[in-house]
DNA sequence: GTCTATAGGCGGATAGAC
DNA sequence: GTCTATCCGCCTATAGAC
């Protein structure tokens, strides 16, 4: 640990940082973000709080880093969708892509949903931008009030239902189907023809 | 202390406690729950922290007390709904009642949705019971998976959209109408005949 | 029954030595 | 990159005055 024992990746520098994130995720999942102190993370890693602070300037930054993978996937889906020409196709692609991301990362969402503090941590970064772009794509440019409300309800409904502990045991495909249906009803999209 | 936290009755001797709750609500609204310290509340009241501590054993208890009025209204709606015979009528009554409560207390919801402590404080009390009863009434006893998902999405979608800061300026009646529509689509209820 | 004074302990965060 | 040492603010708790 001390010197020259970091065979990790090509760079070799991200060893501790990666372990830190993995440990943080585990502790966050077990106790929730707020209830997990930097001291606990440091202890679990066998280092001191200050060592943790070397890698992340703040606790929110750790939470943000833990959340990032899911957000990146969402960003990809958003870009794909925005490149489509027809509005219906854009909405459909974004909907199914969003549902995919939610289902795949539902453990993470459950975590964040339970700890609104994380929401704040994310809001500081680019998640706010993502949510604005999602709203634009879902609701369209007409600024129709009822569309905007429906889009908002769809986003939070899908995300928080997908992350709800009650449905944690449901298998991915089933959950995906149900959440798609939620989105279709709210966004006024027809069920895909069989 | 025990339970009586309803909006002051004709008592008159609950002065400090009532003032405390009003002050707490104001500060919570201004700065958020987490960012409001007992010290701030005490200072605003002109007393010491320990005086605050005398009335409420913990900060979460204050948050819970602030939230209680809305939850009590929801409970009334739930009881009314559960007394109705036809299932459709039960769903409709609960939906419109829920939307009413959400719209009326949306400032509170906005507050709670953004803050960690409150969520936890409420989970410890009876809000969990309320949400279970809501799910039962909305989804019915058949335990239909897709109904349960839709009901969950409706509840969180309505609540969090109603409390969303983006729509804070929207007037009550308009918002109510849109949220009702969200609920109707997800719960499969027809729009009231015109 | 209501409040003040005071103190413990923990949390996040920073500075600077190694 | 990691550590020691330290600051500050917060929640909680207790003892005791009025």
Chain segment A64-110, per-residue pLDDT in tens: 999 999 999 999 999 999 999 999 999 999 999 999 999 999 999 98
- List the single range of B19-23, B31-35, B53-57, B185-189 with lowest mean pLDDT: B31-35
Taking the C-alpha atoms of B113, B114, B115 and B119 in order, what is their torsion angle to the nearest 10 degrees? 20
Work out the average pLDDT over B115-139: 78
**Which one of A117, A146, A166 has the shortest CB-CB distance to B116?**
A117
Residue B136 has what pLDDT?
96
Over residues B114-124, the pLDDT tens digits come to 776 566 666 65
Locate B21 and state its tokens.
Answer: 């709750």
Residue B48 has what pLDDT?
95
In the predicted structure, residue B163 carries a pLDDT above the cut 50: yes
Over residues B64-113, the pLDDT tens digits come to 899 899 999 999 999 999 999 999 999 999 999 999 999 999 999 988 88
Confidence of residue B142 (pLDDT cuts 50, 70, 90): confident
- Rounded CA separation B69/B8 (Å): 11
Under DSSP, is residue A168 helix (H, G, I), strand (E, B) or coil? coil
Residue B11 has what pLDDT?
41
Chain B: residues touching A (Cβ < 8 Å): 34, 113-117, 119-120, 145-146, 149-150, 152-154, 156-158, 160-161, 164, 166-167, 170, 174-175, 178-179, 181-182, 185-186
Q: What predicted TM-score, i.e. pTM, was given to this entire model?
A: 0.89
Residue A124 has what pLDDT?
58
Residue A6 has what pLDDT?
41
Residue B166 has what pLDDT?
93
Nearest CA in chain A to B115: A116
| Whether A154 contacts A138, CB under 8 Å | yes
Residue B191 has what pLDDT?
85
Distance, Å, B52 CA → D17 C1' = 17
Nearest CA in chain A to B155: A157
Distance, Å, A9 CA → C17 C1' = 30
Give the C-alpha distances (Å, rounded to integers) separating A193 from A90, A94, A158, A177, A188. 17, 18, 22, 14, 15
User: Residue B104's Cα: distance from chain center in Å?
Assistant: 9
Average pLDDT score, chain B: 88
Residue B124 has what pLDDT?
59
In the predicted structure, residue B158 carries a pLDDT above the cut 60: yes
Residue with tokens 């009650």: A166
CA distance A158 to chain B (A): 6
Identify nearest nucleotide to residue A19 by CA to C1′ distance: D1
Chain A residues within an 8 Å CB radius of B175 = 149
Residue B127 has what pLDDT?
76
Residue A10 has what pLDDT?
47
In eight-state DSSP terms, residue A105 is T
Chain B residues within an 8 Å CB radius of A181 = 146, 149-150
The third-level CATH classification (topology) of the domain covering B10-57 is Arc Repressor Mutant, subunit A (1.10.10)
In the predicted structure, residue B1 carries a pLDDT above the cut 50: no
- List chain A pLDDT tens, one digit each, 194 residues: 434 344 444 444 568 999 999 999 999 999 999 899 999 999 999 999 999 999 999 999 999 999 999 999 999 999 999 999 999 999 999 999 999 999 999 999 988 887 765 566 565 566 788 989 999 999 998 889 999 999 999 999 999 999 999 999 999 999 999 999 999 999 999 987 65
| Whether A14 contacts A54, CB under 8 Å | no
Q: Which CB contacts under 8 angstroms, 24+ apart, belong to A25-32?
A: A25/A66, A28/A63, A28/A66, A28/A111, A29/A107, A29/A111, A32/A111, A32/A114, A32/A115
Chain A: residues touching B (Cβ < 8 Å): 33-34, 114-117, 119-120, 145-146, 148-150, 152-154, 156-158, 160-161, 164, 166-167, 170, 174-175, 178-179, 181-182, 185-186
Over residues B3-32, the pLDDT tens digits come to 333 333 334 446 889 999 999 999 999 998
User: What one-character-per-residue DSSP string does chain B give?
Assistant: --S--SS--S----HHHHHHHHHHHHHHHHH-STT--HHHHHHHHTS-HHHHHHH-SSHHHHHHHHHHHHHHHHHHHHHHHHH-SSHHHHHHHHHHHHHHHHHHTHHHHHHHHH-HHHHHHHHHTTHHHHHHHHHHHHH-TT--HHHHHHHHHHHHHHHHHHT-GGGTTS-HHHHHHHHHHHHHHHHTPPPPP-
Residue ranges of the domains in chain B? 10-57, 67-187
Count chain A–chain B contacts defined by CB atoms under 8 A.
Answer: 93
The third-level CATH classification (topology) of the domain covering B67-187 is Tetracycline Repressor; domain 2 (1.10.357)
Distance, Å, A45 CA → D4 C1' = 18
């Amino acid at each position: 640990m001390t010197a020259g024992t970091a065979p990790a990746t090509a760079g070799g520098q991200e060893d501790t940082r990666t372990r830190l994130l993995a440990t943080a995720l585990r502790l966050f999942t077990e106790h929730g973000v707020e209830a997990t102190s930097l001291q606990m993370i440091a202890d679990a890693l066998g280092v001191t709080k200050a060592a943790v602070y070397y890698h992340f300037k703040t606790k929110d930054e750790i939470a943000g880093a833990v959340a990032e993978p899911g957000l990146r996937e969402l960003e990809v889906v958003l870009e794909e969708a925005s490149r489509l020409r027809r509005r219906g196709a854009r909405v459909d692609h974004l909907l199914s892509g969003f549902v995919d991301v939610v289902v795949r990362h539902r453990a993470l969402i459950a975590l964040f949903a339970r700890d609104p503090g994380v929401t704040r941590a994310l809001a500081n970064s680019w998640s706010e931008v993502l949510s604005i772009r999602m709203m634009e794509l879902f609701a369209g440019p007409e600024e129709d009030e009822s569309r905007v409300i429906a889009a908002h309800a769809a986003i939070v409904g899908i995300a928080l239902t997908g992350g709800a502990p009650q449905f944690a045991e449901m298998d991915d495909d089933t959950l995906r189907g149900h959440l798609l249906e939620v989105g279709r009803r709210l966004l006024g999209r027809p069920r895909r023809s069989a």
